Amino acid sequence: MRCPACNEIGKDKVIDSRLTESGGAIRRRRVCQACNRRFTTKERAEEELRIAVVKKDGSRVRFRRDKIMAGIQHACYKLPIVDTDIEAMTDDIEGELFRDHDREVTSREVGECVARKLRDVNHVAYVRFMSVFKEFNHVSEFAEEIQRVEDHAATASPDQQSLFGD
Ligand SMILES: [Zn+2]
């Protein structure tokens, strides 16, 4: 690879290699043997390995990890669940879906996978997720709907603010 300091190609050597905290990428520390400059590269799975999500109406959208994470974040809103837990759950879900599905997965399967994870982690988050997932059948739609309701709740009176009645 090209050295960002001296532009020499192919003179770099990997001196350290480790998984990122989430496990979703590998960070490699490299040294350029031409100029001794050290730099870091981050490696992720290629986009073409990605799978398509088949929605209820038959349309396909690209699988998006950030949508899964947003859905989980919304379900965990104000619950004692830290960001690293949410990231770990997202990693598990992504890993499971990619392991069990070749090219496509239905939105229902994605949602069920998210639901299983949430059920293991926090009951309230699980119930929240399920109550909306049944209606929308897709995590991204769920996230969008919750956002809409939260935006509305911000301007509503206090007794109307509890979306899920908990
Ligand atoms: Zn160099």
pTM: 0.56
**Structure confidence at residue 23 (pLDDT):** 74
Residues of the chain above pLDDT 70, percent:
77
**Structure confidence at residue 95 (pLDDT):** 85
Domains of the chain, by residue range, sit at 12-43, 47-160
Q: How many whole angstroms from 1 Cα to the centroid of ligand 1?
A: 10
**Structure confidence at residue 114 (pLDDT):** 94
pLDDT over threshold 80, residue 141: no
Q: How many whole angstroms from 7 Cα to the centroid of ligand 1?
A: 6
**Structure confidence at residue 151 (pLDDT):** 67
Q: Find all residues with CB under 8 Å of 41, minimum gap 6, and list them.
A: 1, 27, 28, 30
Least confident span in 18-32, 52-66, 70-84: 18-32
Q: Which two tokens stand for residue 77?
A: 């809103």
**Structure confidence at residue 15 (pLDDT):** 94
Q: Mean pLDDT over residues 86-105, rounded?
A: 88
Q: Find all residues with CB under 8 Å of 118, minimum gap 6, and list them.
A: 72, 75, 76, 89, 125, 126, 129
Q: How many whole angstroms from 13 Cα to the centroid of ligand 1?
A: 11
Q: What is the pLDDT of residues 4-58, one digit of tens each?
A: 999 999 999 999 998 877 677 888 999 999 999 999 988 877 655 578 999 888 9
* CA-based nearest residue to 142, from 110, 99, 94: 110
**Alpha carbons 54 and 62: distance in angstroms, whole number:** 9
Q: How many whole angstroms from 67 Cα to the centroid of ligand 1?
A: 38
Q: How many whole angstroms from 8 Cα to the centroid of ligand 1?
A: 6
